[in-house]
Amino acid sequence: MQTGDNDPFELEAMTALRRDLHAHPELGFEEVRTSGIVADLLAEAGIEVHRGLGKTGVVGTLKVGDGTRSIGLRADMDALAMPELADRPYASGTPNTMHACGHDGHTVMLLAAARHLARTRNFSGTVHFIFQPAEEGRGGARAMVEDGLFRQFPMDAAYGLHNMPGLATDEMAVVAGPQLASSDSWEVSFTGVGTHGAKPHLGRDAVTAAGQFLMAIHTIVARRVDPLQPAVVSACAIAGGDFNALNVIPDTVRIGGTARAYTPEVRDQLEAEIGQLARGVAATFGISVDYHFKRRIPPVVNHPDATRRALAAAQAVTGNPVMTDFPPSTAGDDFAFFGAEVPGAYVWLGNGPAVDGALHHNSRYDFNDDAILTGARYWTTLVEQELR
């Protein structure tokens, strides 16, 4: 790649690369092509590269001067298992795989920043460029942490960024405190005694118990959680019986769902309350119950000090007032695992208006290439301000 004074971030090449990644999306832990390109472009710029952390993760390390502070910047690389329905020249060429969350853009913005910093070297300290696999529910961040990310690459703070439709591409939002909710899943299986549908008194009815339970779980947020604390409990799957046997009351009904919160306390409470209700309903109906609560990802909570530093960089870059009151989202992001180890800040970068109403995870969504420059400048400015 070539760069010059008039194109310090290699924008033309980076835009082409963004579209190339969009055309070749890869699912979590399968980002072989993507991480190969990332590693090669980091190495070509003279950045020390560590491949294969968390299976397909890549860490690039750039140490300049004698500064002792060290920070990590994170981009996610994975796509989603869904078809792309938009007609664009660089539409996904892989069936049922699509960059519908803009991680193709995240990868390219951090890559552009890394290569720029390797050329300009206008800081003193160590920066780790963390290219994470499998953000979309497959546990990439946890895999990198378990593989020794913080042991091999000690850092004082970690930063994340996500594109956000509805904000302009030169607009950013940086907010202290909770950004994204914890995202956990739960499963309840009621097991009674199956019987003839005409003779319910001869069995123990798990279907009716499941109905009671489904209504009752909505009292958890309404009646048990502090009204000033956001929380969500949703049942999202139910299975039991057979539509070819509508005279049979089945033994077992399975229900599964999600639970979301912004604090560890409310998260613990949701786990306890769903279980208590399930056991209570089972006891009422004289049936047994099996309950599992699976902790997937903790909430993303921005640390005050890291947020202050992120805000200063965002203000310097955009020239626009940075939004500091952007509302938190009940979605999740496993950047939370990095923010749990060191002070972290996760910020929003505008993706322009939602084209055709397409938002994240929509089959027509696309990262906006106009945001590449703002994102790359945010990363380089953050490094130059933090590591003086």
Residue 134 contacts Zn ion per CB under 5 A: no
- Helix, strand and coil content of the chain, in percent to the nearest 5, comes to 35, 25, 40
Cα–Cα distance between 131 and 145 in angstroms, integer? 13
- In sign, the C-alpha dihedral spanning 314, 164, 380, 370 is negative
CB of 310 to Zn ion, least distance (A): 18
Q: Where are the alpha helices (DSSP H) in the chain?
A: 11-23, 32-44, 103-120, 140-146, 149-152, 206-216, 218-219, 264-285, 304-318, 336-339, 371-386
| Binding window for Zn ion (CB under 5 A); candidates: 93-101, 240-248, 274-282, 288-296 | 93-101
**Which amino acids are annotated catalytic?**
78, 135
Phi, psi of 204 (to 5 degrees): -130, 115
Specify the stretch interacting with Zn ion by CB under 5 A; choose among 96-104, 182-190, 195-203, 369-377: 96-104
The answer to whether 364 touches 356, Cβ cutoff 8 Å, is: yes
Residue 270 beta carbon to Zn ion: minimum distance, rounded to whole angstroms: 22
Please check whether residue 59 is in contact with residue 158, taking contact to mean a CB–CB distance below 8 angstroms. no
Strands 183-191 and 252-261, sheet pairing: antiparallel
Q: How many residues bind Zn ion (CB under 5 A)?
A: 1
Region from 40-48, 99-107, 225-233, 362-370 binding Zn ion, contact rule CB under 5 A = 99-107
Q: Name which position in 39, 101, 255, 383 contacts Zn ion (CB under 5 A).
A: 101
Q: In whole angstroms, give the CA distance from residue 142 to residue 336.
A: 9
Q: How far is the CB of 101 from Zn ion (least distance, A)?
A: 3
Mark 214-253 with x for binding to Zn ion (rule: CB under 5 A) and - for no binding.
Answer: ----------------------------------------
| Residue with the shortest CB distance to Zn ion | 101
Q: Which is nearer to Zn ion, 163 or 318 (CB)?
A: 163
Nearer CB in complex with Zn ion: 94/195: 94
Q: Which stretch binds Zn ion (CB under 5 A): 27-35, 97-105, 111-119, 209-217?
A: 97-105
- Least distance in angstroms from the C-beta of 1 to Zn ion: 26
Applying CB under 5 A, the residues found at the interface with Zn ion are 101
